[in-house]
Structure 1
Amino acid sequence: MSSFAPAAKRSKTAESVTDSGEFFPGIGKIGFKPKAGPKEVLCFKHYNASEKIRGKTMEEWLRFSVCYWHTFRGTGADPFGFPTLIRPWEDGTDSIENAKRRMRAAFEFLHKLGVKYWTFHDRDIAPEGATLEETNKNLDELSDLALELQSKYGIKLLWGTSNLFANPRYMNGAATNPDPHVFACAGAQVKKMLEITKKLGGENFIFWGGREGYQSILNTDVKREMDHMAALFKMAIAYKNKIGFTGQLLIEPKPKEPTKHQYDYDAQTVIGFLKSYGLDKDFKLNIEPNHTTLAGHGYEHDVVVASKLGFLGSVDSNTGSTDLGWDTDQFPMDVKNATLVMKAIIEQGGLAPGGLNFDCKVRRESTDLEDMFVSHIGAMDTFARALRIAAKVLDDGILPGLVKDRYHGFDSGLGKKIEENKATLEEMEAHVLKHGEPEVRSGKQEMFESIFNGYV
């Protein structure tokens, strides 16, 4: 079998892109052109930020955000190939200067795309040092620049988070690690990142338990590990209140990968965990549909479940290939799936202070700088279309009315008594003895699907 050499390190030297020049030359501010032709891809054909729907603008409903890790730290490398996404502002080092240049490129991108929010892990923006003191100093320096650029471009931080999974110290978990020294490292990292998120005006703080799970049950004390994870969350609540950070705390469910099993498996699992440990008043959920499908659910399932139970805080709006068994983080382009998500968001009155964060990466074959814009534009247009469709579905009232009719028996009499938790088993028996066998009604699934397709 032949071996292949890696691609060239960069298409042009980082030094040729000056801090005062453009990182995306030839690409201007993305505008709204509803009559643009099929080949015009550097414009919005559906996303009109100022358009009002049900009393809010599209911008208010959708609250789009770009993630830093995939968009500006992704290289296109995979287990079978070298990096393919060689950005012109990168010099191949992990230096502070390279990190600053990368951040300036990121904010130019956000500005030209017209997105008002961004998200990042601590390690995305600042290199890790040899000591905690050095690491924190690096983060302070880069967050100073972020604060300056946020002000310059009118960009806000949707949420910050700590990377508690990439460093080898976390190979056995962070909060769930069997070594309290490693737990302390995770706690110190969360403390600092809560401070940075507050400094940057972040509206939320998120936890994703990348390695909070197990590979083998044989060497794992599941109860102690979950107890320890809850302990870190309680420390975070206490420190959040101590420093006066008013943002929403979020947990992002995922069933597996990189671990065989993760404790935050899906929305219902996380909600059960929060209630078990008395954390349900302080946390909501950030739902990633690609994770939902990895758990074996439909695309919209966790969004709807979290929303109906009062726990939907934000959405990582991506998708995956359902024929694959891993997290592919693709840009969402399916209008039907997006409509089901937007219907749930409209029904709960919006996502604020959360938003729709594009936790997505361009394919390793999509190597042009233009592809960074085209991918986000396509996804934003998908959700803009979905917002309009979902609003019409709800405004027309046909589908909601049919659902309400399906459960009309619980609106009065015995059904209402059941819902109010006032009924007894003796009453159930008496009702059946009096009325006999129930007349079973058709679920009309195909009719519901046909009506929905008429909107999409």
Structure 2
Amino acid sequence: MESTRERLLSGSDVCGRSTHSRPWDDGTDSVDNHKRHIKAMFDFCAKLGVKYWTAFDSDLVPFTENWEENKTHWDDVTEYIQELTQRYHIKLLWIAPDLHSHPRYLSGAFTSNDASTFIQAATQIKRCLEVSQRLNAECFLIWPYREGYHTPFQTEVAREIKLFAKLLKLTAEYKDRLNYRCQLLIMPYYNSYQSRNFYGGWQHHQWRERDLVHTYMWDVTSCLYLLKNYNLDRYYKVSVPPGHHMYMANVYNMLGSVTVTNDWDHYDSRRLTLMMKCIVDQVGDHVTHNKYI
């Protein structure tokens, strides 16, 4: 079964097949195909006048278990992106390690009870930071989508949260070792708290219990509390969707980025004006508009 992302890319839905025809995409997971996707994205941004772009590492290089092969792929793709950046003058706002889509991260990346998974996540973050520095990205994003638990009978919550904070601190320390001047961002897990009704309108529904209880960083408040408790707020700011979370981050002077997606973010001009005021109040913050490559 196709994922939501795959449907978005192919133009299909649960009742129909692909409708998008993209001449640059040959359907393979090769380096050349990824490079063609990146080139198409730069062309698209240039036509729209977009000055920044963002990506997860899995958007840029094919997956491989061989680290030497992975390094070769990254070197090839990074050089290609540097060439495109000079040609199009479009900057990289942030890059983020994909710590959620691989099956190994089913039970978390930062908080997994499998030591090899924790090491894999740390190594992936390390490589992404190095690439981010080479590409002069202004920010580096962490999205702890899988960090939580299924049942308290199978986990030690306090231990997992300490592991979570440990890897966040290691990330910040390695950034400093690289002498890389960028803003670290963390994006709490947000459920799709709006859904389409039968007539195509938008309606709110209640948060599910898992979103309220089982996810360690389910909203901006729980995120800020964890950062403050482990003295990580001096390294990180939060990336939030428009609306309430944005206002709360602004109150604590922790607004680092606003992530706008086409799926849920529909606001009138008055609300958008108030949101823009939050950004103006914190000079130097960034607004990111997520697009799949």
TM-score (norm 1): 0.56
Q: Is the Cα–Cα contact under 8 Å of residues 129 and 138 in structure 1 kept in the other structure?
A: no
Contact kept in structure 1, 2:54 and 2:290, CA below 8 Å: no
- 1:281–1:199 distance in 2 versus 1, CA, 3 Å: same
Query: In 1, Cα distance between the equivalents of 2:88 and 2:60?
Result: 18
Q: Secondary structure at the residue paired with 1:92? A: coil
Aligned partner of residue 119 in structure 2, secondary structure? helix
Which whole-Å deviations, capped at 9, do the CAs of 1:61-116 have from their partners, x for residues lacking one? xxxxxxxx979x83345566554444221111111111111111111111111011
Equivalent of 1:307, from 250, 256, 265? 250
Q: Which has the larger radius of gyration?
A: 1
Tell me the residue number matched to 2:203: none
Q: Which residue is equivalent to 1:178? A: 113
Superposed CA deviations along residues 26-57 of structure 1, whole A, max 9, x for unmatched, are: xxxxxxxxxxxxxxxxxxxxxxxxxxxxxxxx
Structure 1 unpaired stretches of 5+: 1-5, 7-68, 290-299, 320-328, 362-371, 373-456
Question: Residue 355 of structure 1: which of 272, 286, 293 is its match?
Answer: 286
* Stretches of structure 2 lacking an aligned partner (at least 5 in a row): 193-207
Would you say the 8 A contact 2:45–2:51 is kept in 1? yes
Tell me the C-alpha RMSD between the 2 structures: 2.6
Matched with 2:175 is: 240
Instruction: Report which of the two has the higher share of strand.
Output: 2
Q: Distance in 2 between matches of 1:208 and 1:177?
A: 15
Which of residues 317, 335, 340 is equivalent to 2:269?
Answer: 335
CA contact (8 A) 1:122 1:139 kept: no
Native 8 Å contact 2:141 2:184 kept in 1? yes
1:279 maps to what in 2? 232
With over 3 angstroms needed to count, the CA separation of the structure-2 counterparts of 1:233 and 1:179, relative to structure 1, is same
Could you say if the C-alpha distance between residues 268 and 315 of structure 1 is closer, same or farther in structure 2, counting changes exceeding 3 Å? Answer: same
CA shift digits 1:168-223 (9 cap, x unpaired): 11111101111111000000000000000000000010110111112323322211
How far the C-alpha of 1:136 sits from its partner, in A, is 2.5
The residue aligned with 1:102 is 37
Query: Structure 1's 264 and 83: CA in aligned 2 closer, same or farther, altered over 3 A?
Result: farther
Q: Is the 8 A contact 1:331 1:360 kept in 2?
A: no
CA-CA distance at 1:139 after TM superposition: 1.9
Q: Name the structure 2 match of 1:212.
A: 147
Secondary structure at the aligned position of 2:36 is classed as: helix
Confirm whether residue 203 of structure 1 aligns to residue 138 of structure 2. yes
For residue 80 of structure 2, give the secondary structure of its aligned residue in structure 1: helix
5 Å matches for 1:37-436? 74-76=9-11, 82-256=17-191, 260=211, 261-289=214-242, 300-318=243-261, 329-330=263-264, 332=266, 334-348=268-282, 350=283, 352=284, 354-359=285-290
Q: How many residues align?
A: 273
1:85 & 1:215 partners in 2: Cα distance?
37
Residue by residue over 1:370-399, the C-alpha shift from the partner in whole angstroms, topping out at 9 and shown as x without a partner, is xx9xxxxxxxxxxxxxxxxxxxxxxxxxxx
| 1:78–1:206 distance in 2 versus 1, CA, 3 Å | farther
Q: 1:131 to 1:249 in 2, by over 3 A?
A: same
Q: Distance in 2 between matches of 1:278 and 1:163?
A: 25
> In structure 2, the residue corresponding to 1:214 is in which secondary structure?
coil
CA contact (8 A) 1:128 1:134 kept: no
